[in-house]
Amino acid sequence: MELSALTVHEALDLLDSGETTSVALTEAVLNRIDQVEPKVQAYLALDREGALRQAEEADSQRKNGQGGSLCGVPLAIKDVLCTTTMPTTCGSRMLENFVAPYDATTVLKLNDAGSVLLGKLAMDEFAMGSTSENCAFSTPHNPWKLGYVAGGSSGGSAAAVAADECFATLGSDTGGSIRQPASLCGTVGMKPTYGRVSRYGLVAFASSLDQVGPLTKDVRDCALMMNAISGHDPLDSTSIKVDVPDFTASLTDGLGGVKVGIPQEYFGQGLDPEVEKSVREGITMLQEAGAEIVEVNLPHTDYCVAVYYLIAPAEASSNLARFDGVRYGFRDKEADSLIEMYNRSRSQGFGEEVKRRILIGTYALSSGYYDAFYKKASQVRTLIKDDFAKAFAQCDLMVSPVCPTPSWKMGEKADDPLAMYLSDILTLSANLAGIPGMSVPCGFSSNGLPIGMQLQATHFNEEVLLKAAYNLEQRAGVVGKKPVIA
Amino acid sequence: MKITREEVQHVAKLARLDLSEDDVDRMTGQLDSILSYVAKLDELDTQGVPVTTHTQNVVNAFREDEVRPSLDRDRSLQNGPDQNGEAFVVPRVIS
């Protein structure tokens, strides 16, 4: 087996036993990138020299008996997290030349754990999109079928992990942006509880919904990454002071005493029959592992898309007001008045989808419309949150599909924003309610595209997600299956 | 129609975005279909329902009021599209 095909925990085992080095792992993954990257197109920036230098440092740390929990493991991150060693573009012309003056807390944590940072991965501009086609620089392909979308907005992250172009990665999830690409590319992805992981240095999209989380090759790697990035951060006033468990301790066989809820509304109209079949088979596997299956209801599911596509653009229109061409980002140098400079810089720097969401958000917050749109959506958000509270009174976690369909052809939904928004229907509500959600591979469609199962639990209960995901993974026979990239 | 061309132009002005005539036409159509869709929220009676703007009950995350280092000037200015080593330079505001 190629070294680049290893999981994080397999790589750590070989490093611990001295059978390989971080330099060997890094060279192997750089070779793999040389082979497949022209087809996959997941990377926006690659730092070969920096990665090899970090790998040498990791090897010498290990020799001295030092080094953190991920010492020597080559990782890559979504280009939405600030890094001082390479640009942070957020997939936007607006930030094409931006090099952050500080590192995101999650980047520092991965660095403290001793990991090697390979580069930055493609994404929809400012994390707005479901296919990564809104990236200004490169659209990643689905490694399972080139010409098909990798999902979004963390499409580059999912594609890179699935194609063995890194051992694991971080993404961000505002309405499904980790879980949906993970599902479409057959990787594990976790959106942690809001407040579990620091948002400091994460370029803001919708601040009450954004959360950083891992995309990995298997469930154990997800737990290891969660161990490395979780915890309260004084630099993020919305991060929560709560104990961080050892997430790998949840990976035990058997689900005796665990109640799994099946939200009926998540199996409704528009669900691809192959996705439904695969997820239902996954539910049977959880049952075989000892879980009790109960039906639950989330009656306001049908309103999630409407709520989300008012609240997220409203917050985005406010967050993206900072891009004024003054302190960073693109500036039109021809303008000769301040207002003209703002207008021209923003109009040329932002892409189509970002402008569309700024317009929706500005409208929803504007005088005369605030009550009808933003306030109304925020009230229905309460009803959605209450739905979850009631459903979780009857079960420990809920399982469903992640995305109503497997991956689709690039360009297929690009001209119809509303159709694209509707594909997010099963993932948005976890962000609206602030709960953790996860995507775990459970099968394949008849034409070989991955299908993921979504798991959701109560606030700060990622452990039960990991436990159920681990049990599914043991039985689904999907882990270790690799795409042939051609 | 949920939104008119004039309203799109007004909102674009508020958001500091220049839209061409073609942009206004296209965005008016797209925003109209999105706003028509979100109007389904009107089916729900939300009288007396409190708003959720945040999912965790964090109120005022204070820190100690201590002097500590912050980003120095050079690093603060490093991404400025136009700066003179001391400040960001912008087009004249008052003529």
Model pLDDT for residues A394-441, shown as the tens digit of each residue: 999 999 999 999 999 999 988 888 888 988 999 999 999 999 999 999
The yes-or-no answer on residue A39 being catalytic is no
pLDDT tens by residue, A47-62: 999 999 999 999 999 9
Answer yes or no: is pLDDT of B95 > 80: no
The yes-or-no answer on residue A439 being catalytic is no
Q: How many domains does chain A have?
A: 1
- Write out chain A residues lying below 8 Å of B41, CB-based: 303, 306-307, 310, 376-377, 380
Angle (nearest 5°) at CA B88 between B83 and B91:
100
**pLDDT at residue number A262:** 98
**Amino acid letter at A391?**
A
Question: What class is the B5-40 domain?
Answer: mainly alpha
> Which ranges of A153-272 does DSSP label H, i.e. alpha helix?
155-162, 179-185, 219-229
pLDDT tens by residue, A81-129: 999 999 999 999 999 999 999 999 999 999 999 999 999 999 999 999 9
Matching residue, tokens 């003179």: B84
Cα nearest neighbour of A299 on chain B: B44
- Write out chain A residues lying below 8 Å of B78, CB-based: 99, 101
- Write out chain B residues lying below 8 Å of A341, CB-based: 90-91
Across the interface, whether the CB atoms of B91 and A340 are under 8 A apart is answered yes
- Write out chain B residues lying below 8 Å of A335, CB-based: 91
Residue A66 half-sphere exposure toward CB, CA atoms < 13 A: 7
| C-alpha distance from A248 to closest chain B C-alpha (Å) | 26
Residue A170 included in any domain: yes
Across the interface, whether the CB atoms of B17 and A340 are under 8 A apart is answered no
- A115, A130, A157, A177: the catalytic one is A177
pLDDT band at A70 (very low <50, low <70, confident <90, very high): very high
Residue A207 included in any domain: yes
Nearest to A385 among B31, B41, B55 (CB): B55
Mean pLDDT check: name the lowest of A157-161, A322-326, A366-370.
A366-370
Mean pLDDT check: name the lowest of A148-162, A289-303, A396-410, B57-71.
B57-71
**Amino acid letter at B25?**
D
The yes-or-no answer on residue A177 being catalytic is yes
Residue A203 included in any domain: yes
Answer yes or no: is pLDDT of A1 > 90: no
Query: What is the CATH number for A170?
Result: 3.90.1300.10
Answer yes or no: is pLDDT of B1 > 80: no
pLDDT tens by residue, A225-254: 999 999 999 999 999 999 999 999 999 999
**pLDDT at residue number A140:** 98
Query: Regarding beta strands A188-191 and A437-444, do their DSSP bridges make them parallel or antiparallel, or are they unpaired?
Result: antiparallel
Phi then psi for residue B54, to 5 deg, are -155, 140
Q: How remote is the C-alpha of A322 from its chain's centroid?
A: 24
pLDDT tens by residue, A315-336: 999 999 999 999 999 999 999 8
pTM (global) more than 0.95 = yes
Among residues of chain A, what percentage have pLDDT more than 70? 100
Residue A5 CB coordination number (10 Å): 15
Residue A77 included in any domain: yes
| Cβ within 8 Å of A, B 65-94 | 71, 75-76, 78-82, 88, 90-93
B53 touching chain A per CB within 8 A: yes
pLDDT band at B94 (very low <50, low <70, confident <90, very high): confident
Residue range of the domain that includes A249: 3-254
Phi then psi for residue A318, to 5 deg, are -75, -50
Residue A60 CB coordination number (10 Å): 12
| C-alpha distance from B4 to closest chain A C-alpha (Å) | 12
Residue A379 included in any domain: no
Nearest to B31 among A359, A377, A380 (CB): A359
Across the interface, whether the CB atoms of B51 and A379 are under 8 A apart is answered yes
**pLDDT at residue number A486:** 78
- For residues A435 and A464, give the distance between their C-alpha atoms in angstroms, rounded to a whole number: 12
- Write out chain B residues lying below 8 Å of A459, CB-based: 55-56
- Write out chain A residues lying below 8 Å of B8, CB-based: 359
Residue A387 included in any domain: no
User: Got the DSSP string for A307-346?
Assistant: HHHHHHHHHHHHHGGG-SSSSSS---TT--SHHHHHHHHH
Answer yes or no: is pLDDT of A44 > 90: yes
B8 touching chain A per CB within 8 A: yes
**pLDDT at residue number A419:** 85
Residue A348's SS3 state is helix
Residue A41 included in any domain: yes
pLDDT band at B2 (very low <50, low <70, confident <90, very high): confident
Q: Which of A301, A315, A229, A309 is nearest to A263 (CA)?
A: A301
pLDDT tens by residue, A281-324: 999 999 999 999 999 999 999 999 999 999 999 999 999 999 99
Across the interface, whether the CB atoms of B40 and A306 are under 8 A apart is answered yes
Answer yes or no: is pLDDT of A367 > 90: no
Answer yes or no: is pLDDT of A160 > 90: yes
How many residues are given for chain B? 95
Residue A415 included in any domain: no
User: Got the DSSP string for B45-79?
Assistant: --TTPPP-S-SS----------------HHHHHTT
